[in-house]
Homo-oligomer: A and B are copies of this chain.
């Protein structure tokens, strides 16, 4: 692999001149420039990003640590993060924490060792000391989706409160009164927040949220299945199960099916996070959709602002309710084709 020296030799100039051409510094003659460009072309030269990073102390790389790549919500988030970053001239390195704190730490450490310019993280389980230290030490950082209270780091997230209210209204209108929730880990903000919003919304309709109707999940399908089984074993099982993420909803669906019961006839189901597949499940699942692409975009912009010295800002975008059939038919029958399929790319 040829280096800048080879190019300099081939073009008959010094390495400094080559470097200047490459970074289009103004003071280089047209003649020198064209000779350098020709040499670059001839040798197929590409600057070594490693050396460049060492010298300039910037990698033009962002780290993204997400909780679970297999979760379509995070996949989509990762994708939009990469898109926006690319548009802004940055690369992204993704670390999958798999909801495991020690894996999250591993990735944060690795990314920091690589001297990424900034870190986007959706913290798995409270914050690791490592991450907090990095933030305090001045590593540009932005939380996305989830965050850690009391840390001075911008947060980009969706507010599901209004959508959860809308969901409860919808359920109430359908005549449901015994509503249960499968919560995420209490240590995550999204875990606790969704329960709170749910409880609050129930309160407005004078409905209780007994402890037995709060299942503890971990955002994985299996935990959704187990929580649902426990609900079904209750003397008075709930009429509705609201899963705090899409994977747990799937587990719930499994559990219901394994009992030979049917959604929504025997028990209704709703989920937080809308994903393309919910259109095709049996039955299609009513869900709360986050503006995932916009979230990714906003997060990158905030992080890059911070990196490039502009003041970053926290962003909160509203989530919205998408009604399908898993909670029962709404009074006014909806035309089947009215709902545009989210399978299609939602790119502009």
Interface residues of A (CB under 8 A from B): 1, 44, 46-51, 53-54, 59, 69-70, 72, 75-76, 78-79, 82, 86, 91, 93-94, 96, 106, 109-110, 112-115, 133, 137, 220-222, 225, 250-251, 253-254, 257-258, 260, 276-277, 279-284, 336-337, 341, 343-345
Contacts and interface: CB of A to CB of B under 8 A. Distances in A.
A115 B280 contact: no
B69 A222 contact: no
B258 A276 contact: no
Nearest to A137: B1
Nearest to A221: B343
14 contacts: A44-B133, A47-B113, A48-B54, A49-B115, A50-B59, A69-B79, A70-B75, A79-B96, A91-B110, A222-B343, A251-B343, A280-B282, A281-B281, A281-B282
Contact of A79 (B70, B115, B260, B282): B70
Contacts of A76: 70
Contacts of A221: 276, 343-344
A65 to B, nearest CB: 12
A105 to B, nearest CB: 13
Contacts of A344: 221-222
A12 B316 CA distance: 51
B253 A50 contact: no
B282 A283 contact: yes
B50 A115 contact: yes
B75 A345 contact: no
A250 B1 CA distance: 45
Nearest to A282: B282
B54 A51 contact: yes
Contacts of A49: 113-115
